[in-house]
């Protein structure tokens, strides 16, 4: 069960965020409303939400998931692979927030790069995507830190998606949403795999929060499949964040 969540309010500079989506620029005012609704959905799922101030000098800073990994034993500050995002991991308010909740806060060091959008937690094990943003050195550093705290990790090589969790979402109870390159991946054969249709691929980025599952609005097939598993689904519109390659998991740290 999660007790706490950390989020950061989007800034007006969000229109300058990194993107490969080709969906146009996000509208700041709409993104702000969607973010408020996201926080409201998290609150409904029974967590306490710490809200950090916007950082206009960092257009992607609302995607807090990439700059830290929060586990049951420690927090690990990452070193983002996108150079324009690297300084986000040094922001003092994020460090202060993590230090408030954790006795042990570790850090990824150069030349390692890690973005925690590439990391999926399944119990005490962490699948780490080796991607354009997370390199082998960073993944190995992450595993060493996890093992130091009694946790485990393994590396999954990505071929197509930006981040591991672009195509995977663990919903607890052995249920795993799988999209694209992960549908037939033997690495995940032990799970009850719920296949995401290609035309709803963006909707694969759902998040489990205390027996609720937050699902992006507009992906009815995924919504139905998750409801049939018995979860309480909360729909959240993230269309503005999709324009800059962001989804539901990117917008929060959950622990």
- Active-site positions read 163, 250
Cβ 117 vs Cβ 165: under 8 Å: yes
18 labelled ligand-binding = yes
Q: Is 65 annotated as a binding residue?
A: yes
User: 175 Cβ partners below 8 Å, 6+ apart?
Assistant: 191, 192, 194, 229
Q: Does the annotation list 136 as a binding residue? A: no
Dihedral of alpha carbons 23, 128, 156, 108, sign: positive
Q: Is 180 left (phi over 0), alpha (psi -120 to 50) or beta?
A: left
> Would you say 86 is a known binding-site residue?
no
Q: Is 60 annotated as a binding residue?
A: yes
Nearest 5°: CA angle at 155, between 181 and 149?
A: 140
Are 105 and 118 in contact by the 8 Å Cβ rule? The answer is: no
Angle, CA 144 vertex, CA 138 and CA 146 arms, to 5°: 100
Q: Is the dihedral of CA 79, 142, 103, 255 positive or negative?
A: positive
Mark the binding-site residues for substrate, compressed into ranges: 18, 60, 65-66, 85, 133, 244
Mark the binding-site residues, compressed into ranges: 18, 60, 65-66, 85, 133, 244
């Amino acid at each position: 069960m999660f007790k706490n969540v950390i989020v950061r309010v989007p800034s007006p500079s969000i229109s300058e965020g990194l993107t490969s989506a080709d969906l146009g620029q996000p509208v700041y005012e709409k993104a702000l409303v969607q973010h408020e609704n996201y926080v409201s959905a998290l609150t409904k799922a029974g967590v306490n939400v710490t809200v950090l101030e916007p950082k206009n000098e960092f257009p992607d800073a609302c995607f807090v998931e990439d700059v830290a990994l929060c586990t049951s034993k420690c927090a690990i500050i990452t070193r983002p692979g996108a150079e324009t995002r690297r300084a986000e991991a040094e922001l003092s308010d994020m460090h202060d927030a993590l230090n408030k909740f954790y006795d042990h806060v570790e850090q990824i060091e150069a030349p390692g790069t890690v973005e925690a959008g590439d990391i999926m937690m399944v119990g005490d094990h962490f699948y780490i995507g080796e991607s354009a943003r997370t390199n082998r050195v960073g993944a190995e550093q992450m595993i060493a830190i996890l093992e130091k705290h009694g946790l485990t990790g393994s590396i999954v090589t990505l071929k197509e998606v930006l981040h591991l969790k672009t195509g995977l979402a663990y919903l607890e109870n052995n249920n795993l949403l799988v999209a694209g390159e992960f549908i037939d991946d033997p690495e995940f054969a032990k799970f009850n795999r719920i296949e995401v249709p290609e035309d709803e691929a963006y909707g694969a980025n759902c998040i489990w929060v205390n027996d609720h599952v937050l699902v992006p609005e507009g992906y009815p097939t995924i919504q139905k499949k998750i409801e049939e598993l018995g979860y309480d689904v909360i729909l959240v519109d993230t269309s503005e964040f999709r324009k800059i390659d962001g989804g539901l998991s990117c917008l929060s740290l959950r622990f």
